Amino acid sequence: MAPTVAVLMLTMFDDDESVFAAMRAGALGYVLKGAAPESMIRAIAVVAGGEAIFGAGVATRALSYFSTPRADPTVFPELTPREREVLTLIAERAG
């Protein structure tokens, strides 16, 4: 992605996977197509100014997602999801 380009996603998809993929790709904002025109204009202005803007629902879900401990998939890649879950629980109890 070009570092000088500010990206604002305008989409009809509100699922976590779409939102987080946009964030990982560098989007500074995420607006649903059904948003009020004033909200879209504000989002464009905010992102054009180099700041990030996400709706309250997206922000809450992002905070929840990133605050939940996750096992690093690069460590012990041979483990099944259940084995990884058990290992995570053991590590949480030990820590």
pLDDT bin (cut points 50, 70, 90) of residue 2 is low
- Fold classification of 8-70 (topology level): Rossmann fold (3.40.50)
pTM of the model: 0.61
pLDDT value of position 95: 60
pLDDT digits (tens, 9 = 90+) for 15-74: 888 888 888 888 999 888 888 999 999 999 999 999 999 877 777 887 787 777 766 666
pLDDT value of position 72: 65
pLDDT digits (tens, 9 = 90+) for 70-92: 666 666 778 888 888 888 888 78
* Dihedrals phi, psi of 64, to nearest 5 degrees: -65, -45
Residue boundaries of the structural domains of the chain: 8-70
CA dihedral 16, 17, 23, 27 (to 10 degrees): -100
